Every structure is written in C-alpha cells, then in structure tokens.
Amino acid sequence: MSKLTIGIADMKMAKGEGMLITYALGSCIGICLYDPKIKLGALIHIMLPINMETGRKSPMKYADTGIRETIKQMEAKGASRARMTAKIAGGAKMFEISGGSLGNIGQRNIESVRLNLKKEGIRLLNEDVGGSVARTLLFDVATGQGCVRSYGRPELIF
C-alpha cells in the first residue's frame, strides 16, 4: 500500500487506496476529508486558524483557506460535497504557560476547523482534539478509517 506523508502546512490526496500520514500534531490539526463513494481522501495539516496573510502563498497553513482549497481540488477530481465527511485530530496545548496567549492556538484551531467545516456543509464524523498530547494521524483511503497514535496512550481508531 502506498504511503504518503503530509508535512506542516501541506495537503495530499489519494484515491482508491493508500495511507495518508501526518506526524506529531501538537496545536496543529490534521483534517481528513473523504468521499466514500469514489474513495477519494485528503489529509490537511493546518497550523493556524485564520489566513490573514497578504499574498496567501501557503493556503494549507490555515484552517479556513486549507479546507476551502482542498474541497475545491477534491471536487475537481469528481468528489461531491454532499457525500464528503470529515475527521479531525490535534489542537492540543503542549505547554501550560501562565500569562500570554501561547496556549490558546490549539483551541482556536479547533473552533476554526469546526466552523469552516460547517460553513462548507461538510459533516464532522469524528474528532480527537484538545488535551495536552501530540498526535500522529493516519488515514486509510480504502476504508475511510482514521487512527491516532500518541505517546503514553493506546492507539485510537476512529
């Protein structure tokens, strides 16, 4: 089975079969989008909630532009928005810092991803978000099954 690794601020798609993997999601979020009928899956690794960059060179860095751009690319490959579902993981708070906005990025990412999925009319099937653990997310395009690997926690299938 082919294995595709998705880096930070990146997105990859696979059709029919293949394993999409993104490693060590901290406050970042991995978003699996899937059209079960044609077995087209995409995995996005976003880092921040809202794109306010001028020029917008890396849409996949942000929840809003990342989700929008990925749906567009999936539709171009024959996916239907009505059939599309989502599974998300990440949004942790890695460090407990007193004072300062440092720890809130994860939470803001979670809220932005949920909001943008809703706005685009995508059903959110399952999520493993928040807390304080890093997560590695695997997404099997053949079955639409996700798997979350963390340090010191049993594997989670969703």
Q: How far is the CB of 111 from another protein (least distance, A)?
A: 15
Write the interaction track for another protein spanning residues 108-127; mark x where CB under 8 A is met and - where it is not: --------------------
Number of Cα atoms under 13 Å in the Cβ half of residue 146:
25
Q: Is 155 in the site for another protein (CB under 8 A)?
A: no
Q: Is 94 in the site for another protein (CB under 8 A)?
A: yes
Could you give the CA distance from residue 133 to residue 145 in angstroms, rounded to a whole number? Answer: 21
Give the residue among 44, 39, 37 at the shortest CA–CA distance from 21.
44
- Which residues touch 75 (CB under 8 Å, ≥6 apart)? 81
The yes-or-no answer on residue 147 being catalytic is no
Residues labelled as active-site residues = 28
Q: Which residues bind another protein (CB under 8 A)?
A: 7-10, 23-28, 47-48, 52-53, 57-58, 61, 92, 94-100, 102, 105, 132-136, 151-152
